[in-house]
Chain A
């Protein structure tokens, strides 16, 4: 028995493209490569199949800006698959989904409650709309040096102190796989008439897998930004924005159209359509396989010296309300190596590319595309790195999370008159730009925040260990833009 109301074997955009190819329509419209003929080198590289469906919106293929036929139908089926009231196909990445959620919920001067370990896209949206962030400091696991979820009591306090806030944003899960108590947060927020926005960039599979944390839509959230291209298998840059009953889909469409392209790629759209179909039909088995592979890898890694691959044993029924068992997050500091050093060694010495390394951890992304023999390689390489490069643990910084001090709203800071100063001279000043390690893309400093000695020490240490720091105008991150007095 299916839990879906609509026929999930359908893929309307894909079907329309197949039909369109058969029509052999003569193109006197864009794109100018005309089914690839005008760009033989690109066609040779990407393949003719690919280029023949790189087409523009037209009557038989509908239009993402104003969907009335096949895209509308595909959106309805996708909404059904995710248990949402409405689903929007997004082609500007989950960044644009997150931004649309915030632009919908907040206007100039509004407050929004956020965990500090949000993705930069959320704070970028505040620069655009002029809202002010109220940060809930996430709990920290001091051993692992990672920011956890938000505890319900801290959320409650933030709500009580800011009853005028318009919305609250929740990561479900964090990059490391940690989930807050989403149901309770939704209940609390709705009591205060706040919208709940869920950044589900790393949780697409929650809607389809078995024994996984609850998804935003299932928990009753008002909106969710879902990175279909991460665990869902669609093409990079494609994403879903899901909304619940309380959200006006027509106004949301207007919000999306403020910033989204009018030439949406049908490669991205069809990849969303086909991937949704696959997950709706086979997601259960697919993510069982992924979770089993991740669990196997954890068992093997935990037999090695110096590593700790953590999972649901961390659950504390509060700031780690649940854990995404498909994630392979590994604590590395007991090898004497920072996560970022292990990350670099895996690539440089062993030709293994993982998702990211920070000060104390690495994350290897396990997905439907992985084979057991590749997992064996990863585990062996970790074993070898410990044997060849492991050292005494002393002198490693473990504390990762720096409590932010918001002095002015991000938009005000971003557009203010500023000056560029060397790092050490910025202490005590207000930053007008972002600084973050990427990935994971969680800001150390955001526009409008006060620069402290602790922040500078962290930036310098992360740079020294080889983290790729990004955000500031000065690409070398030796100078920062600060507000003029």
Chain B
């Protein structure tokens, strides 16, 4: 018997990995959620047919969406995380003792339930006393906040389905309003390679540029995402992601990481020319 999971990375490209077992499948109010076990990537989470994370490579995504802003902002106390029902971002954030309060806004409680049951590697810090989970639409939650957060992390799915609203100008504008005067927003920024992802990337960048005075993009390498080349957005009211990097202070924290380091931090903001061109075209 052979089981293979296939996801379309483009209309003409399939990404297929061998599966041992299909552990769980559930249809929530918002989406279909599946968990598979694979020999190459361990357990992996699939939402509406798209691979969200695997046990083997999730560290890249979660370290890079969290430690980059944390190494820039000198004093993060209040954090808002949108999406992230798998718990990976929370795991990284709760390593910082200085953080006082985390609001996690996940639209789908089933994602959290499934992650707690099947993905203990990421869903391991949901009991942190600083964390409050809100099951509601992030677009709605952030609309009601003003001048409160130091950091907002937008850990969204692709811009089709329940995550659609997290790629809109009204959402980015609401985040701007919800942040303090020196706040930072980091977001999942799609990929520059395949046309579908690149279109979403450009639209997101255009809208963020229109909403924040500082808007930069940095790259990571994620083996299981389309093309493997993935981007995050760094939008900020005051701090520049490279010039204001506090490498020494961050290194003094002595957090052990598998992907992130402060040299890579600087390097990740240096983008290939074809990516820079795409971004410039919408700025």
Could you tell me the distance between the alpha carbons of A377 and B174 in the complex, rounded to whole angstroms? Answer: 11
Interface of B is mostly: helix
Taking a contact as CB atoms closer than 8 A, the residue among A303, A376, A379, A387 that contacts B173 in the complex is A387
Q: Do A373 and B137 form a contact, CB below 8 Å, given A379-B143, A380-B143, A383-B143?
A: yes
Whether the pair A383, B165 counts as a contact (CB closer than 8 A) is no
Which residue of chain B is the closest to A380 with respect to CB atoms?
A: B170
User: Which residues of chain B come closer than 8 Å to A349, judged between CB atoms?
Assistant: 169
Q: Do A380 and B162 form a contact, CB below 8 Å, given A350-B168, A350-B169, A372-B137?
A: no
Minimum CB–CB distance from A391 to chain B (whole Å) comes to 17
Could you tell me the distance between the alpha carbons of A383 and B145 in the complex, rounded to whole angstroms? Answer: 11
Minimum CB–CB distance from A118 to chain B (whole Å) comes to 36
Minimum CB–CB distance from A284 to chain B (whole Å) comes to 22
Q: Does B8 contact A (CB under 8 A)?
A: no
User: Which residues of chain A come closer than 8 Å to B27, judged between CB atoms?
Assistant: none
Q: Which of A368-392 contact B (CB under 8 A)?
A: 372-373, 376-377, 379-381, 383-384, 387-388
Which residue of chain B is the closest to A381 with respect to CB atoms?
A: B170
User: Which residues of chain B come closer than 8 Å to A303, judged between CB atoms?
Assistant: 144
Interface string of A345-364 (1 = CB under 8 A from B): 00001110000000000000
Minimum CB–CB distance from B105 to chain A (whole Å) comes to 12
Q: Does B149 contact A (CB under 8 A)?
A: no
Q: Do A383 and B174 form a contact, CB below 8 Å, given A350-B169, A373-B164?
A: yes
Could you tell me the distance between the alpha carbons of A10 and B137 in the complex, rounded to whole angstroms? Answer: 40
How many chain A residues touch B (CB < 8 A): the figure is: 16
Which residue of chain A is the closest to B136 with respect to CB atoms?
A: A376
Q: Does B171 contact A (CB under 8 A)?
A: yes
Whether the pair B169, A379 counts as a contact (CB closer than 8 A) is no
Q: Do A377 and B170 form a contact, CB below 8 Å, given A372-B137, A383-B143?
A: yes
User: Which residues of chain B come closer than 8 Å to A376, judged between CB atoms?
Assistant: 137, 139-140, 143, 165
Most buried by B among A351, A373, A381: A373
User: Which residues of chain A come closer than 8 Å to B170, judged between CB atoms?
Assistant: 350, 377, 380-381, 383-384
Minimum CB–CB distance from B160 to chain A (whole Å) comes to 11
User: Which residues of chain A come closer than 8 Å to B205, judged between CB atoms?
Assistant: none
Q: Which of B53-85 contact A (CB under 8 A)?
A: none
Q: Does B43 contact A (CB under 8 A)?
A: no
Q: Do A377 and B168 form a contact, CB below 8 Å, given A372-B137, A383-B143?
A: yes
Most buried by A among B162, B164, B168: B168
Whether the pair B174, A379 counts as a contact (CB closer than 8 A) is no
User: Which residues of chain A come closer than 8 Å to B177, judged between CB atoms?
Assistant: 384, 387
Whether the pair A373, B162 counts as a contact (CB closer than 8 A) is yes
Kindly state the interface size class of chain B when it binds its partner: 10 to 19
Interface of A is mostly: helix
Could you tell me the distance between the alpha carbons of A387 and B178 in the complex, rounded to whole angstroms? Answer: 12
User: Which residues of chain B come closer than 8 Å to A372, judged between CB atoms?
Assistant: 137
Could you tell me the distance between the alpha carbons of A379 and B141 in the complex, rounded to whole angstroms? Answer: 12
Most buried by A among B168, B170, B171: B170
Could you tell me the distance between the alpha carbons of A384 and B170 in the complex, rounded to whole angstroms? Answer: 6
Most buried by A among B169, B174, B177: B169
Which residue of chain B is the closest to A352 with respect to CB atoms?
A: B170
Q: Which of B159-216 contact A (CB under 8 A)?
A: 162, 164-165, 168-171, 173-174, 177
Could you tell me the distance between the alpha carbons of A381 and B172 in the complex, rounded to whole angstroms? Answer: 10
Q: Do A380 and B171 form a contact, CB below 8 Å, given A372-B137, A373-B137, A387-B177?
A: yes
Which residue of chain B is the closest to A388 with respect to CB atoms?
A: B173
Which residue of chain B is the closest to A378 with respect to CB atoms?
A: B170
User: Which residues of chain A come closer than 8 Å to B140, judged between CB atoms?
Assistant: 300, 376, 379-380
Minimum CB–CB distance from A111 to chain B (whole Å) comes to 50
User: Which residues of chain A come closer than 8 Å to B164, judged between CB atoms?
Assistant: 373
User: Which residues of chain B come closer than 8 Å to A383, judged between CB atoms?
Assistant: 143, 170, 174
Minimum CB–CB distance from A1 to chain B (whole Å) comes to 32
Which residue of chain B is the closest to A384 with respect to CB atoms?
A: B173
User: Which residues of chain B come closer than 8 Å to A380, judged between CB atoms?
Assistant: 139-140, 143, 165, 168, 170-171, 173-174
Minimum CB–CB distance from B40 to chain A (whole Å) comes to 35
User: Which residues of chain A come closer than 8 Å to B173, judged between CB atoms?
Assistant: 380, 384, 387-388
Which residue of chain A is the closest to B143 with respect to CB atoms?
A: A380
Taking a contact as CB atoms closer than 8 A, the residue among A300, A373, A384 that contacts B169 in the complex is A384
User: Which residues of chain B come closer than 8 Å to A373, judged between CB atoms?
Assistant: 137, 139, 162, 164-165
Whether the pair A377, B143 counts as a contact (CB closer than 8 A) is no
Interface string of B129-153 (1 = CB under 8 A from A): 0000000010110011000000000
User: Which residues of chain B come closer than 8 Å to A350, judged between CB atoms?
Assistant: 168-170
Could you tell me the distance between the alpha carbons of A387 and B174 in the complex, rounded to whole angstroms? Answer: 9
Could you tell me the distance between the alpha carbons of A373 and B143 in the complex, rounded to whole angstroms? Answer: 13
Could you tell me the distance between the alpha carbons of A372 and B173 in the complex, rounded to whole angstroms? Answer: 20
Minimum CB–CB distance from A350 to chain B (whole Å) comes to 5
Could you tell me the distance between the alpha carbons of A90 and B140 in the complex, rounded to whole angstroms? Answer: 42
Could you tell me the distance between the alpha carbons of A350 and B172 in the complex, rounded to whole angstroms? Answer: 11
The 12 listed contacts between A and B (C-beta, < 8 Å) are A300-B140, A303-B144, A350-B168, A373-B162, A376-B165, A377-B165, A377-B170, A377-B171, A379-B143, A381-B170, A384-B169, A384-B170
Q: B-contacting residues of A (Cβ < 8 Å)?
A: 300, 303, 349-351, 372-373, 376-377, 379-381, 383-384, 387-388
Q: A-contacting residues of B (Cβ < 8 Å)?
A: 137, 139-140, 143-144, 162, 164-165, 168-171, 173-174, 177
| 5 A-B pairs with the lowest CB-CB distances in the bound complex, closest first | A380-B170, A381-B170, A384-B173, A376-B139, A380-B143
Extra inter-chain contacts (18) besides given A373-B137, A387-B177, CB under 8 Å: A300-B140, A350-B169, A351-B168, A373-B162, A373-B165, A376-B165, A377-B168, A379-B140, A379-B143, A380-B140, A380-B143, A380-B168, A380-B170, A381-B169, A381-B170, A384-B174, A384-B177, A388-B173
